[in-house]
Amino acid sequence: MRRLGLFLAFCILTVALVAGCGGAATSESSSSDPSSANAPSGADLAADAFAAVEEAGSAHFVVDTTVKASGPAAAMTGDAPVRLHLQGDASSDELAMDVKLDFAGQSFAAVVLANRQELFIRFLNRWYGDRDLKLPGQSEKERDRIEQDFGTPEGLRARFDDIFTGTVLAGPVLDGVSTWEFRGALNVEGILALVDEYGGDAMAPSERAKLESLAELVHFRFTAGRDDHLPRSYSMDVDLGAGDLDQLGQSDSLDSVDLHIAVRLSDFGKDVSYERPAEYEPLEKLFESFFSGIG
């Protein structure tokens, strides 16, 4: 079971996934400590953090995502920011978290319980679930390959530079722990090679140009303890102005988009468990419930 490690890998790979769907930032909190000369590589920092959090066995996490958009397509949000807050605990076996979504002037809350085989969600005081969860469109062989390539410390160490370019500097002190901080940008060439390797469709020149434009606008940071190697924080910022959206072919529907994702990890090694709900409805009915709640 690698749920906690995969959660970390998900955080690290979010930037690549965003780019597939569609320069490093400065840091006021980072130190100019000359010991940065002894910093690990980005690949080693990420892989060692993966290994450390797996050894710890669990962590408490807080994830805050904010999307601010303007333009015709933003009307459905009431021209207000969309905010998603996740907070909970993940172990090598189980995940339990609270979810809060602010959307179109309304707030929605949910509880999520999961392990590798099952998923349960409580929304509007009702439980929905699936005890035989499978990722759609993927064979077991494909899932095993992805987990081997990205869901292990050594797999992440080998693949990290295919996705990112960047540098590791002295990071901020978090929870009393000195850290290293990776600041990076997307490796467009490496991402396209991975798409080809995993059987993805070849990218047309126009789409490649969009990816290259987006890559310049993604700012990514990741910190881990210098001594204990435990991951402490992750952030991603994407700020798209009118000119950027025009290059991406989205200027007709949007004037600007600002996306910010911040993750903090703490309280490593605590027990994590949940009690499966005695009664629940099929997971497919959750979407009906959500849209009826919006209405």
Res. 292 pLDDT band, cuts 50 70 90: low
Q: Strand pairing of 126-130 and 281-282?
A: parallel
Spell out the residues 6+ positions from residue 37 whose beta carbon is closer than 8 angstroms to its own.
none
Contact between 86 and 109 under an 8 Å Cβ cutoff? The reply is: no
**What is the per-residue pLDDT for 267?**
95
**What is the per-residue pLDDT for 113?**
97
Spell out the residues 6+ positions from residue 66 whose beta carbon is closer than 8 angstroms to its own.
81, 82, 83, 84, 258, 259, 260
User: What are 230-250's pLDDT values in tens digits?
Assistant: 999 999 999 999 988 888 888
In the chain, the percentage of residues whose pLDDT exceeds 90 is 55
* C-alpha–C-alpha distance, residues 231 and 49, integer Å: 5
Q: What angle do CA 108, 111, 113 make, to 5 degrees?
A: 150
The pLDDT of residue 32 is above 50? no
**What is the per-residue pLDDT for 75?**
85
**What is the per-residue pLDDT for 4?**
47
**What is the per-residue pLDDT for 214?**
86
Kindly list the structural domains of the chain, giving each domain's residue range(s) and its CATH number in brackets, ordered by start.
3-294 (2.50.20.20)
Of 150, 114, 151, nearest to 133 by C-alpha is 114
Say how far residue 27 (Cα) sits from the centre of its chain: 20
Q: What angle do CA 197, 240, 9 make, to 5 degrees?
A: 40
**What is the per-residue pLDDT for 293?**
54
In the chain, the percentage of residues whose pLDDT exceeds 70 is 81
Contact between 99 and 85 under an 8 Å Cβ cutoff? The reply is: yes
User: What are 88-110's pLDDT values in tens digits?
Assistant: 999 988 999 999 999 988 999 99
The pLDDT of residue 45 is above 50? yes
* C-alpha–C-alpha distance, residues 185 and 148, integer Å: 24
* C-alpha–C-alpha distance, residues 176 and 134, integer Å: 40
Mean predicted confidence (pLDDT) in 19-29? 34
pTM for the model stands at 0.81
**What is the per-residue pLDDT for 136?**
58
Of 123, 133, 225, 231, nearest to 176 by C-alpha is 225
